[in-house]
Amino acid sequence: MAAQALDGQYVLSGVRVLDFTWVHAGPAATRVLADQGAEVIKVESNYALAVVGGAAASTPYGLGQRHNWNAGKLSFSLNMRTPQGIAMAKRLVAISDVVAENFSGRVMARWGMDYESLRRIKPDIIMLSMSGMGRTGPWRDYVSYGQTLQAWSGFTYLTGFPETDPSGPASAYSDASAAMAGAQAVLLALIHRARTGQGQWIDLSQFEVVCSLLETLVLDVGVNRRGEAVQRTGNRLPHGDASPHGAYRCEGDDRWVAIAVFSDEEWNAFAQAIGGPPWAGDERFATAHGRRRHADELDRLVETWTANHSPEEAMHLLQAAGVAAGVVQSGADLADNDPQLRERGLFRQVPDAQGVLRTVEGPPYKLSLTPGGPLRGAPEFGGHQTYVTQELLGMSDEEIAQCAIDGAFE
Query: Would you name the residues annotated as active-site residues?
Result: 175
Distance CA 327, CA 109 (A): 48
Using CB atoms within 10 A of its CB, is residue 328 exposed (0-12), middle (13-18) or buried (19+)? Answer: middle
Buried b (16+ CB within 10 A) or exposed e, 125-163: bbbbbbbbbbbeeeeeeeebebbbbbbbbbbbbbbbeee
Evaluate whether 98 touches 29 at the Cβ level (below 8 Å).
no
**Single-letter code of the amino acid located at 204:** L
Strands (E), 56-180: 74-77, 98-101, 126-131
Using CB atoms within 10 A of its CB, is residue 390 exposed (0-12), middle (13-18) or buried (19+)? Answer: middle
Nearest to 232 by CA among 221, 217, 242: 217
CA dihedral of 359, 365, 368, 374, whole degrees rounded to 10: -30
**Single-letter code of the amino acid located at 359:** T
Distance CA 125, CA 84 (A): 22
